[in-house]
């Protein structure tokens, strides 16, 4: 693991305001990837993401409309954002999802549009999304055991998600990435089976360390299974994993089981943060730029938007947000985000 560990030490901030495109933050990181939460609602209730009961959702008038989202995406493209990922909550609950993809894909400067989804609605929609311009999907699948899957998602059916995975594959939404959040005592006994999906399929299977977001901190507290432990367990059965080159700012450290068609990725947000190569910013469904997943810093874009700000004015707010983006999270010092849960942030 050491070979791949990154420096987490915070460099000095540059006082210079970013006028370059793509914009660089005050630590010199190029910020060109926007993760857009389309809604905080979801048709699952994963144990590591949402509380079982009492989840509060944003009133609908608070959510950015399609037209507002497209205006923001144009301003973001002008500030140099090149990749957009739609997430949620469950992004496929948005009725305007196909039109949104089509409109965002047509914005000059946007090179890549992807989606992270729980897959429940992909079965019918995958070819339509592809035709609208979606490049790729990441699909969450935490267990291959239908009962365990139902338990972890609090009610969803594995076979529906599996049909979604096959539909995405067939529609050419590739390379397909599958995500599993591993929680000790829940699905950590399935790591070998999940990794085995890559033996015959050219997919990337990504293991994510569970993070202590608000509402689920209890699950995360004792539930984190470190990447180092996962690699040990996999190597005990499959032999040494082949370490692959890590593309730019992808948080997943890629490996391959010898001879496998696909790859395995590890997202070690808790035990080995990747803040030094962070290239992203988040837009919440109610129009806030959220500057670091695991901190509460936000900048309001919606008020300006609803008061008639021009695209240039929105671009300046986005550039300011890039400028003041914090270096990284404070989990080692016990700083936990409290403002929003993961379902309102989009991962």
Q: 315: part of which helix (H) or strand (E)?
A: helix 311-323
**Which region among 40-48, 163-171, 182-190, 277-285 touches ligand SF4 (by CB under 6 A)?**
40-48
Q: Is residue 42 near ligand SAM by the rule CB under 6 A?
A: yes
Q: Which position's Cβ is nearest ligand SAM? A: 347
Q: Which among 51, 96, 33 is positioned nearest to 340, based on CA atoms?
A: 51
Among 213, 264, 285, 318, binds ligand SAM (CB under 6 A): 213
Q: Is residue 90 near ligand SF4 by the rule CB under 6 A?
A: yes
Q: Is residue 116 near ligand SAM by the rule CB under 6 A?
A: yes
Contacts with ligand SAM, 47-86, as mask; x by CB under 6 A: -xx-------------------------------------
- 281's tokens: 């910013």
Q: Is residue 117 near ligand SAM by the rule CB under 6 A?
A: yes
**Which region among 54-62, 193-201, 204-212, 327-335 touches ligand SAM (by CB under 6 A)?**
204-212
**Which region among 1-9, 127-135, 203-211, 229-237 touches ligand SAM (by CB under 6 A)?**
203-211
Among 122, 132, 134, 216, binds ligand SAM (CB under 6 A): 216
Contacts with ligand SF4, 108-127, as mask; x by CB under 6 A: ----------x---------
Min separation Cβ 52 and ligand SF4, Å: 11
Helices (H), 32-92: 66-78
Give the C-alpha separation, 161 to 152, whole Å. Answer: 13
**Is the torsion defined by CA of 331, 337, 340, 346 positive or negative?**
negative
Give the C-alpha separation, 315 to 269, whole Å. Answer: 29
List b or e across 292-315, with b for residues whose CB sees 16 or more CB atoms inside 10 angstroms.
Answer: bbbbeebbebbebbeeebeeeebb
Q: How many residues bind ligand SAM (CB under 6 A)?
A: 22
**Is the torsion defined by CA of 147, 47, 229, 277 positive or negative?**
positive
Among 4, 6, 21, 45, binds ligand SF4 (CB under 6 A): 45
Contact 204, 264 (CB under 8 A): yes
């Amino acid at each position: 693991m050491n070979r791949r560990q990154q420096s987490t030490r915070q460099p000095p901030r540059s006082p210079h305001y970013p006028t370059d495109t793509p914009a660089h933050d005050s630590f010199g990181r190029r910020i060109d990837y926007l993760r857009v939460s389309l809604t905080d609602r979801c048709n699952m209730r994963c144990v590591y993401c949402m509380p079982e009961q009492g989840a509060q959702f944003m009133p609908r008038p608070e959510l950015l409309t399609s037209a507002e989202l497209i205006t923001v995406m144009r301003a973001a493209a002008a500030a140099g954002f090149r990749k957009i990922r739609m997430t949620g909550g469950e992004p496929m609950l948005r009725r305007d999802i196909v039109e949104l993809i089509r409109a965002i894909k047509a914005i000059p400067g946007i090179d890549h549009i992807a989606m992270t989804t729980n897959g429940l609605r992909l079965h019918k929609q995958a070819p339509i999304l592809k035709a609208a311009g979606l490049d790729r999907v990441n699909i969450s699948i935490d267990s291959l055991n239908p009962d365990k899957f139902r338990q972890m998602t609090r009610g969803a059916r594995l076979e529906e998600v599996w049909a979604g995975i096959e539909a995405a594959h067939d529609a050419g939404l590739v390379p397909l990435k599958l995500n599993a959040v591993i929680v000790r005592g829940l699905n950590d006994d399935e790591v070998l089976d999940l990794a085995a999906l890559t033996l015959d399929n050219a997919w990337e299977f990504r293991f994510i360390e569970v993070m202590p977001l608000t509402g689920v901190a209890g699950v995360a507290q004792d539930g984190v299974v470190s990447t180092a432990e996962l690699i040990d367990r996999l190597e005990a059965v499959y032999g040494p994993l082949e370490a692959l080159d890590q593309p730019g700012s992808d948080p997943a450290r890629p490996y391959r089981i010898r001879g496998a068609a696909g790859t395995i990725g590890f997202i070690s947000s808790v035990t080995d943060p990747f803040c030094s190569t962070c290239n992203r910013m988040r837009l919440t469904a109610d129009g806030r730029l959220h500057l670091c997943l695991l901190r509460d810093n936000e900048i309001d874009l919606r008020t300006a938007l609803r008061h008639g700000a021009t695209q240039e004015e929105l671009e300046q707010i986005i550039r300011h947000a890039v400028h003041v983006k914090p270096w990284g999270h404070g989990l080692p010092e016990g700083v936990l985000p409290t403002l929003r849960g993961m379902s309102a942030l989009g991962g």
